[in-house]
Structure 1
Amino acid sequence: MYTQCPECLTVYKLEAELLVPACGCLRCGHCETVFNALGTLAGQLPPEPFTRLEEHALDREPPLADVAVFRPRPEPEPVPEPWTDTPADAAEAVTNEPVATEDAVEEDFSQLTFTPRFARAKRRSWRTAAWIATCTVLVLGLGAQLAWAKRDVLIADATVGPMLASGCAMVGCHLPLVAAPSQLRLLARDVEQHPSVTDGLLITASVRNDATFAQPYPVVTIALSDAEGHRLAMRRFQPEDYVGDAGTRSRGMAAGATSAMVFEVQDPGQRAVAFAFSFD
């Protein structure tokens, strides 16, 4: 994610955890201005050149959160203790009960139904099995939801990631790509005059994915500077700018794989003596 200082217009790249301690407020590392980072928060930077990031209104109604992944169960209500008669009340109830005649007793017994003990046990066993099966399905569903919500962390884990990749390979599925630009290593780079464009430069780079998982091709930023370190030109290359095959882009950079990248830039003149790469 990206945000911009409203005073000096410096754009910063940040993680979500940085916004938590001060409810979205940050201190600019350049001009010391304290500002609300949520006002210009953006997932991607707009195409260059740009001056300001899009500002968001912060006085609207809160949006509705409707994709729940967990909700605690309510505590069970206490069951009241059964009411019991005192010995005096029991004696009074026995005294006040009318004496049943022989005919009445026979009629009452004729209305009773008898359920065998094995039938009652079978019914209880069936209900218990159904309850256990329902709970198992609910637990598995909750685990699947949590695993999907934390899929990037699981795939990037050095122990769990290879197990998931092996399981997916067995059933013929593909794990989603997880971006980790910090684990991309620039092995070699070179710049030369473009063979067919008069004022163009051809920059080549060899990049290796040191992660234990496949990740998407990064957004590459190339900056050209003079001998004093002043930036003369800069350009950001999207994956489709330097990887023409859509199938190759969808598969990403495999774990431990090395990729050769070629970039075409306009020659800023004889003052440009150095260039630098960065990955997003």
Structure 2
Amino acid sequence: MTAEQAGMFTRCPGCQAVYELRARLLAEAAGVVRCGSCGKTFNSLSELFEHRPDQSDEALRGEGMPPLLEHVELRQAELPVAFEPVPDEIETDDLFTEPTPPGGDSIVRRHFWPALSAVLLVLLLIQLWALWQTPGSPIARWLGSSVQPDAALDPNQTVQIVSRDMHPHPSLDDAVIVSTSLRNQAETAIPFPVIEFRFYDASQQVLGVRRVTPEEYIQDREALERGLAAGRIMPLVLEFVIGTSDPAGFQMRFH
């Protein structure tokens, strides 16, 4: 098979170098490749061609949502149900053949309904408690809305950094991705903090400072009002464009 028949090519947006795509290497890199000529990292799927392109050729562009695959709708036939009619001449009392001691029937009826009501009440309380312990349930939101976060607590004392990591952005040369997990160590809910990120180079010089407000990393307005619950761990993944040299490390503070 010739290169023109292979059917998949990509072109570096930096130096216009053309490369033939291999399915195995493309899958390992998730579409992100580095140009062997100029060293630029780019998404090869955004510069995709069916044939080896010339300099004036345009890359393939999608037109919207992918097509839906048709499938056969599975329908289960309704199962037949047979009913046997009860003869009219059979009385209700005739269905009970065991003899009832004198006064026994009234005693059973007198204690049956209170016992059944108590069992149903216990089951209802267990179900409400389970819904209360389920995050996001209507009961949890209703009960949690009455608990206001304690704004007097210092977030630098109550917020614990469980984990943090920084790695280069897969498609932007001047950006990094920061992933971190934060935990509320307080016994009550606290407001979501403003997080300050300071990026440093290898010589510990500050490359840039960025403050991220709760509205930027929390989209749910009700969650913002409830705050960060006690003991709750909150994972965050944020992108930052540095614009200068690559940062060697970063520091986090809370306000």
**TM-score with structure 1 setting the length:** 0.37
Which structure carries more relative contact order (alpha carbon 8 Å, separation 6+)? 2
Larger Rg: 1
**TM-score with structure 2 setting the length:** 0.40
